[in-house]
Amino acid sequence: MPEYLSVETYSYSPGETLSPFLDNARQVLENLGYAGKDVETWLSRVAWEPDGSGFGLSLEPSARLERVMVNSHALFAKPIVSGWTQQSIPQLQEAWVCLTLAFETQTEKQNLDTVNSFSTNYAQDHRYQPFYV
């Protein structure tokens, strides 16, 4: 399983209403240059589980975020949406939702680090290696 570097945003979902969350997720993805029919189809499938326990759905496959550049190369990321309710986590006072962008750090497409993050020399040795198409 690849190692991921994730950027996550959380918000509560009053009354378990997903429309504002999905609108915000769509806008964030569009601002990053990640839009189109695939994104719309994916977001249209996001819904609470029938038992009310939550949801979790990732967009496959990872795609280029055209406006997220490192060394003039677009990064690849996997958007993931998740939601939790009191059904799944009894301590919650209200439903919560999350939009995650998971960036693979060791892949053929993108190699953000050249050294294992547990290496003793990690701080000195890690660096970005761009993927050339």
C-beta separation of 36 from 65 below 8 A: no
C-beta separation of 59 from 28 below 8 A: no
- On whether residue 47 sits in a domain, the answer given is yes
For 23, counting Cβ atoms within 10 Å of its Cβ (0-12 exposed, 13-18 middle, 19+ buried), the class is exposed
User: Crossing angle of helices 19-31/37-44, nearest 10°?
Assistant: 160
- On whether residue 11 sits in a domain, the answer given is yes
Closest CA to 129 of 6, 115, 21: 115
- On whether residue 131 sits in a domain, the answer given is no
> Which residue type sits at 124?
Q
- On whether residue 132 sits in a domain, the answer given is no
- On whether residue 130 sits in a domain, the answer given is no
**83 lies in which domain range?**
4-125
The whole-number pLDDT of residue 133 equals 41
Report residue 64: phi and psi, to 5°.
Answer: -75, 130
* Domains held by the chain: number: 1
Q: Percentages helix, strand, coil for the chain, rounded to the nearest 5? A: 20, 35, 45
Low-confidence ranges of the chain (pLDDT < 70): 1-2, 35, 61-64, 66, 70-71, 73, 105-133
Residue-wise pLDDT tens digits, 61-74: 666 676 777 667 67
- On whether residue 133 sits in a domain, the answer given is no
- How high is the mean pLDDT of the chain? 77
- On whether residue 99 sits in a domain, the answer given is yes
User: What is the model's pTM?
Assistant: 0.72
